[in-house]
C-alpha cells in the first residue's frame, strides 16, 4: 500500500505571528518557517506504517510556494520515499484555501492511487481544520478525523478519534483519509545522515495548472487585525488576599 501525506509550510510553531501595520495580513517576510506540526505527526505515522510492513511507499506532497520544497526535504529526511511539490503561488504571503488544496490533492490521489492519505488535522496558520474532510468529500471516501490511534488490518482501518467528551473508535474501509491529532505519536527528529540522504531522494515539481485546478480564493480577506488586548490586573500577595479579591469580584 502506498501512503500519501500532504504537508504544509507554515510559520514556525515558536514564532509569534505579527499583523502587518497596514492590515493586509500577517508579516511572513524573514520569519522562520517549518512543517505544520500536525503534518509532522502525519508523516511520522506514515513512516511507522512502512516500518511495520503495512505500507510500501510514503509519498509527501506539498502545495504552495516553491520554498515548500524545504518542507518536503524535511519529510524525506524523516523517512518519506519521494515527494511532489505543486507550485500554486509565487508570494509567500498567499495562502491556498483548503478547497483548492483538496482539489489538487484529489488529482494527485487519482494519479498516485494511494490506499491511505494521512494529513494533519489543522494548519497552524489559517486554523481552518478542513483539508482532509474536503478531500474525503471530493473523492467520495470515508474520513477518520482527529485520530489519536490508527490500526490498519487488511483493507480496513480502526481509528480512535478525539471528540468532545472523550474518544470514539470507528472502522473505515480503505482507501480512506485520516487526519492526525496531537496524541497520535511523537514525531522523530531527522538525523544528519538522513538529512544528507534526503537531498538525493526524488522530488517532482508540478503546478496547479498541470492538474487543471483553479486556485483563486473564494474568501476575500478584507483585513487582518490584532486581537483586542487584555490588560494585566494586579498581583496578590497571598491565598487569603486572592480569596477576598475573588469575593469582591463576585465570582465565588
Residues 195-224 contacting other proteins, CB under 8 A: 217-224
Exposure string for 16-27, b = 16+ CB within 10 A, e = fewer = eeeeeeeeeeee
Q: Smallest distance, Å, CB 3 to other proteins?
A: 19
Nearest CB to other proteins, comparing residues 89 and 138: 138
Rounded to a whole number of angstroms, the minimum distance from the CB of residue 248 to other proteins is 10
Q: Give yes or no for a contact between 178 and 116, defined as CB atoms under 8 angstroms apart.
A: yes
Q: DSSP character for 149?
A: E
Confirm if 19 and 226 have CB atoms less than 8 A apart.
yes
For residues 199 and 205, what is the distance between their CA atoms, to the nearest angstrom? Answer: 15
Q: Does residue 249 bind other proteins (CB under 8 A)?
A: yes
Which x/- pattern over 163-192 shows residues binding other proteins (rule: CB under 8 A)?
xxxxxxxxxxx-------xxx---------
Residues between 51 and 110 with contacts to other proteins, criterion CB under 8 A: 97-99, 102
Q: Closer to other proteins at the Cβ: 69 or 176? A: 176
- In the complex with other proteins, the residue whose CB is nearer, 69 or 122, is 122
Q: Least distance in Å: CB of 234 to other proteins?
A: 6
What string of DSSP letters covers 77-109? HHT-SEEEEEE--SSTTPPPPHHHHHHHHHHHH
Please state the closest distance from residue 38 (CB atom) to other proteins, in A.
8
The count of other CB atoms within 10 Å of the CB of residue 162 is: 17
Q: Which stretch binds other proteins (CB under 8 A): 44-52, 140-148, 188-196, 200-208?
A: 140-148
Minimum distance between the CB of residue 27 and other proteins, rounded to whole angstroms?
10
Q: Is 126 in the site for other proteins (CB under 8 A)?
A: yes
First to last CA, the chain: 58
Give the relative orientation of helices 98-112 and 131-139 as an angle to the nearest 10 degrees.
50
- Of 193 and 233, nearer to other proteins (C-beta) is 233
As measured in angstroms, the least distance from the Cβ of 233 to other proteins is: 4
Gyration radius (Cα) of the chain, Å:
21
Instruction: Indicate which single residue of 89, 112, 142, 195 sits in contact with other proteins (rule: CB under 8 A).
Output: 142
Question: Residue 89 is placed in which grid cell?
Answer: 503561488
Amino acid at each position: 500500500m502506498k501512503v500519501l501525506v500532504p504537508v504544509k509550510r507554515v510559520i514556525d510553531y515558536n514564532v509569534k505571528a505579527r499583523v502587518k501595520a497596514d492590515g493586509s495580513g500577517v508579516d511572513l517576510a524573514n520569519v522562520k518557517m517549518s512543517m505544520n506540526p500536525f503534518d509532522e505527526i502525519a508523516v511520522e505515522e506514515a513512516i511507522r506504517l512502512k516500518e511495520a510492513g503495512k505500507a510500501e511507499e510514503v509519498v509527501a506532497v506539498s502545495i504552495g510556494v516553491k520554498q515548500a520544497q524545504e518542507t518536503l526535504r524535511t519529510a524525506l529526511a524523516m523517512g518519506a520515499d519521494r515527494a511532489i511539490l505543486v507550485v500554486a503561488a509565487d508570494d509567500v504571503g498567499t495562502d491556498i484555501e483548503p478547497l483548492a488544496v483538496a482539489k489538487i490533492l484529489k488529482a494527485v490521489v487519482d494519479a498516485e492511487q494511494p490506499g491511505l492519505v494521512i494529513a494533519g488535522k489543522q494548519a497552524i496558520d489559517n486554523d481552518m481544520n478542513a483539508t482532509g474532510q474536503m478531500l474525503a468529500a471530493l473523492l467520495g471516501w470515508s474520513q477518520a478525523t482527529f485520530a489519536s490511534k490508527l490500526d490498519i488490518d487488511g483493507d480496513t482501518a480502526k481509528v480512535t478519534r478525539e471528540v468532545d467528551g472523550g474518544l470514539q473508535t470507528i472502522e473505515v474501509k480503505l482507501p480512506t483519509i485520516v487526519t492526525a491529532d496531537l496524541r497520535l505519536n511523537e514525531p522523530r527528529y531527522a538525523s544528519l545522515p538522513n538529512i544528507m540522504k534526503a537531498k538525493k531522494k526524488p522530488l517532482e515539481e508540478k503546478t496547479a495548472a498541470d492538474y487543471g485546478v483553479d486556485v483563486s480564493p473564494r474568501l476575500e480577506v478584507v483585513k487582518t487585525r490584532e486581537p483586542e488586548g487584555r490588560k494585566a490586573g494586579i498581583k496578590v500577595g497571598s491565598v487569603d488576599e486572592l480569596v477576598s479579591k475573588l469575593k469582591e469580584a463576585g465570582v465565588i
